[in-house]
């Protein structure tokens, strides 16, 4: 009996995810330029032709991996997409960041390793440049509405707090008190802005 359209779609999505996961691991461990399409296909247990059926090039595969990762981080930033943050949405953003890194620290570790490769920085910067401005405007306005003297510096400080905690957790997931850090960051902003 032939597969249904829905079954074909599920199989296609599973193969795409397999290819992306395999490539992410290989790129992070061996470097983007050191990994061939042939090696990705072989490691994933598929043919090179099938990989090219889903991705036209290794560069497109990398762009897709980075796009999905960055988009995944921003998808829950402004849940109602109204262009502003409530106090509850701001706290939710912090909580969701910690939840995502706790659910999959290995992906974050690989992504961090990948993002440190000079030859990959351009892909990452290009992708972030497309999504980041809308986030920065909303975050800037949130801090400005809280009567922050320097909303731009506050954004950088906030970003540094989140990224720093995430990087430390990824580096030592069993030693870093991530739940306490999440509460500390939330409490800091609740006290600072009377949220």
- Condensed to tens digits (0 to 9), the pLDDT of residues 97-147 reads 899 888 877 777 777 777 777 767 676 777 666 767 778 888 999 999 999
Q: Where are the domains of the chain?
A: 1-55, 59-193
What pLDDT, on a 0 to 100 scale, did the predictor assign at position 128?
Answer: 67
Q: Are 181 and 161 in contact (CB under 8 A)?
A: no
What are the backbone angles phi and psi of residue 155, rounded to the nearest 5°?
A: -60, -45
Neighbour tally for 7: CB within 10 Å: 10
Specify the pTM. 0.76
CATH C-level class of 1-55: mainly alpha
**pLDDT for 176 beyond 80:** yes
Q: Is 132 exposed, middle or buried (0-12, 13-18, 19+ CB in 10 A)?
A: middle
- 29-64 pLDDT, tens digit per residue, is 888 889 999 999 999 999 999 999 999 999 899 888
């Amino acid at each position: 009996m032939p597969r249904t359209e829905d079954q074909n779609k599920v199989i296609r999505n599973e193969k795409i995810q397999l290819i992306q996961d395999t490539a992410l691991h290989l790129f992070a461990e061996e470097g983007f330029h050191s990994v061939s399409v042939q090696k990705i296909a072989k490691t994933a247990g598929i043919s090179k032709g099938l990989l090219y059926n889903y991705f036209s090039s290794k560069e497109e595969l990398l762009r897709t991996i980075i796009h999905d990762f960055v988009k995944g981080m921003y998808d829950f930033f402004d849940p109602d997409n109204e262009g502003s943050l409530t106090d509850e949405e701001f706290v939710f953003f912090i909580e969701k960041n910690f939840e995502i890194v706790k659910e999959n620290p290995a992906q974050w570790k690989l992504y961090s390793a990948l993002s440190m490769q000079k030859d990959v920085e351009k892909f990452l910067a290009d992708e972030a440049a497309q999504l980041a401005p809308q986030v920065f405007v909303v975050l800037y306005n949130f801090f400005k509405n809280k009567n922050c003297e320097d909303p731009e510096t506050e954004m950088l400080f906030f970003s540094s707090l989140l990224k720093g905690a995430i990087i430390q957790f990824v580096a030592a997931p069993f030693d870093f008190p991530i739940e306490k850090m999440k509460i500390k960051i939330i409490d800091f902003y609740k006290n600072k802005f009377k949220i």
